[in-house]
Structures are given as C-alpha cells and as structure tokens.
Chains A and B, each alone.
Chain A
Amino acid sequence: MHIGRRLPLTPGALGRDSRYTLYDRVQVHNRLLSLAERERRDAMADSTLGDLDNLAARARRDTSIESLVLVAAGVLACFAVAVNLATSSGGYPDALHGVGSWSLALLIPLALVAIWLRLRRRESRRGVGLQSRTVGWTALWVSILFLLLGLGPILTFVLGPYPVLMGLVAIAGLRFSSRLLLGWGVVAGALGTWAGMYQFNNRFGLPTLDTALAVSIAVATLIAGIVVGVRQRNA
C-alpha cells in the first residue's frame, strides 16, 4: 500500500491493477459498505419518523381531553348566561352578571372534580393516559382558592363567567399541549372579558351586543366541544 495515495471510490475501478494491494481492496469495499449502511439508515429514518408520528397521533387521540374541557366549559357558560338573563331585573338584561355567574364559584370546582373522575375512569378502561392526575391537582387548587379563600364569587361575579372559565380552558391547553384549547381560551376569554367590562362599567350602552356576545361564546363553546368529540370518535 502507498501511504497518502487516493484510492478509487468503487471496487470495480480497482480492476486488476497490480498497484493495489489486498489491503487497499478491503478498504474500498469497507468504505462502500459503510456508505450503503448510512444510506439505508437515512431511508429508514424517514419511514421511522412517519410511523412514530402515527403512534403519537393515536396516543394523543386516546388521551385527548379537548372535547371534555370544551363541553364542560360550554355547559357552565350556557347555564350561567341563561340564569343571569332569567334573573335580571330592571329592564336591563345582563347576560354576564348575576346569580348565574356567582354560582360558578361552586360549579367550577364541581365540574373539575367531575372531569377528574371521568378521566380516571377512561384511563382505567383504555389503559393509557395520566391526565387525571393534573386535573385532580387543578381541582384541589381551584377548590381551595374559590371555596376556602372566597376568590370565586369575586372573580365570577365581578368579571363575568368568561375570564375564569376560559382562563382554565387556556391553562388546560398549555398543560396538555393543545393549540385548540389554548387558542379558544385566549380568544373567547378576551372577548368575554371585553363584553363583561363594557356591561359592568355601564358606560357604553351596548346591552344587545354584549348579550349576543355572551350567548354566542357559550353556545359556540358547547358546540365546539361536541364537534371535537364526534370527530375524535369517528377518527
């Protein structure tokens, strides 16, 4: 072998040339095999990542809480808005402030406990997921803040139902990496707070628009939860 000499890339190019030793020929063969192995691994990597995406998508679908969270938020919002409208007096229909919003201080912790129990049952039945643990801790903290420290009536009565409800939806989106929940929580929460502050300040005289907005957010949240649930079931 000649040190520093450049060897051909393929064994065929070595031919029967007597300048190349057996060692040279083995080296060329090994280099080619190594290149082939790398190419094979590159191709495998491509298909492997596709398979992994499918597996992750299936696990995400089996553990998704999007529908559950949106339906719960939608039911609570519809209830609060309906009760607010039914109990409003003085000719000023207020969809965002009243007994309905106030009762959320108790209903939100209860809803979180219901979601926690539902998730525990689902995880046990399907054999996958650990989301109930996070929801359980959230239920505990919200119960302490709302019921023991009395923060719930202040937040839900003063600001209306949406900052708290949609804030929790956005937190769920962050915690469970769901863009849908995060986006929904932020947009619906911002709109609801905007409408709530108009009405609470009583400065702008837009009760019809505020009421329409409050009802629309509640109904849209409920419908979105049902649609997501049906789509997941059919997927």
Chain B
Amino acid sequence: MSSHPVTQLDDTVHQRVRLGILTILATAGRADFTYLRDTLELTDGNLGRHLDVLYDAGYVEITKTFEGRRPRTWVTITKGGRTALTGHIAALRQMIDAVPDK
C-alpha cells in the first residue's frame, strides 16, 4: 500500500518562509539577504533564523562578502536543497491531485 503524500513532506522545507526562500533561490540561483527579506516581507531576525535552519540542514550555502566597507550576505541553494524542494513540491502536487473534485 502506498503511503499518503503527507509522509513525504520535509518538515524543514515545509515551513512557509523556508519554502519561499528555497523557491527564490532555485529560480534565481542566488540572492542576498536584503532581497530575500524584502521579497518575503520579513524582519532581519526572522529571516536569519530561517536561514540558520536551512544552513544546518545543508540546503543553502551562506557567503559573507564586503563591498567597500559594507557587509553583504549572499545565499545560494545547494544540490541537496534543490532535491529537497523538488521532492516537497512533488508531494504537495500529489496531495492536490488526490483531493476529489466536488
């Protein structure tokens, strides 16, 4: 018997903000902290915490650079992050397909 798609959801990815971060990174390749914060309408602290979770899971890479004297944080998606996102979205689509039409 096949399991319900819910069991295939990745809890790290499933959180709404983290799903948004990975989607942006998978589309654009890389983004900086400010772009992610403004696009997802988050506070610095909130975004920082979500990035830490994704970094600990090995789904993103974080690079800190300096432009002049201004620090800049670039975030890129890893291969593992891309795989996790693809699997998660596939599970979401499966769940939608499983809902019967009214």
Contacts and interface: CB of A to CB of B under 8 A. Distances in A.
Given A45-B92, A45-B95, A130-B76, A51 B20 contact: yes
A51 B89 CA distance: 12
A222 B93 CA distance: 39
Contact of B34 (A49, A58, A60, A127): A127
A207 interface: no
Contacts of B67: 124
Given A42-B95, A45-B95, A52-B20, A128 B30 contact: yes
Q: Size class of A's contact patch?
A: 20 to 34
Contacts of A124: 67
Contacts of B39: 55, 58-59
Contacts of A48: 16, 19, 92
A55 B20 contact: yes
B6 A38 contact: yes
B89 A52 contact: yes
Contacts, number: 76
Contacts of B34: 127
A127 B4 contact: no
Interface string A161-199: 000000000000000000000000000000000000000
Q: When A and B form their complex, which 5 residue pairs have the shortest distance between CB atoms, in order from nearest? A: A130-B29, A127-B32, A127-B35, A59-B27, A45-B92
20 contacts: A45-B93, A45-B96, A46-B96, A49-B96, A51-B16, A52-B19, A52-B20, A52-B89, A55-B24, A55-B40, A58-B24, A59-B24, A59-B27, A60-B27, A63-B29, A126-B35, A127-B35, A128-B32, A129-B29, A130-B28
Interface of B: 4, 6, 9, 16, 19-20, 23-24, 26-35, 39-40, 67, 72, 76, 89, 92-93, 95-96, 98-99
Interface of A: 38, 41-42, 45-46, 48-49, 51-52, 55-56, 58-60, 62-63, 124, 126-131
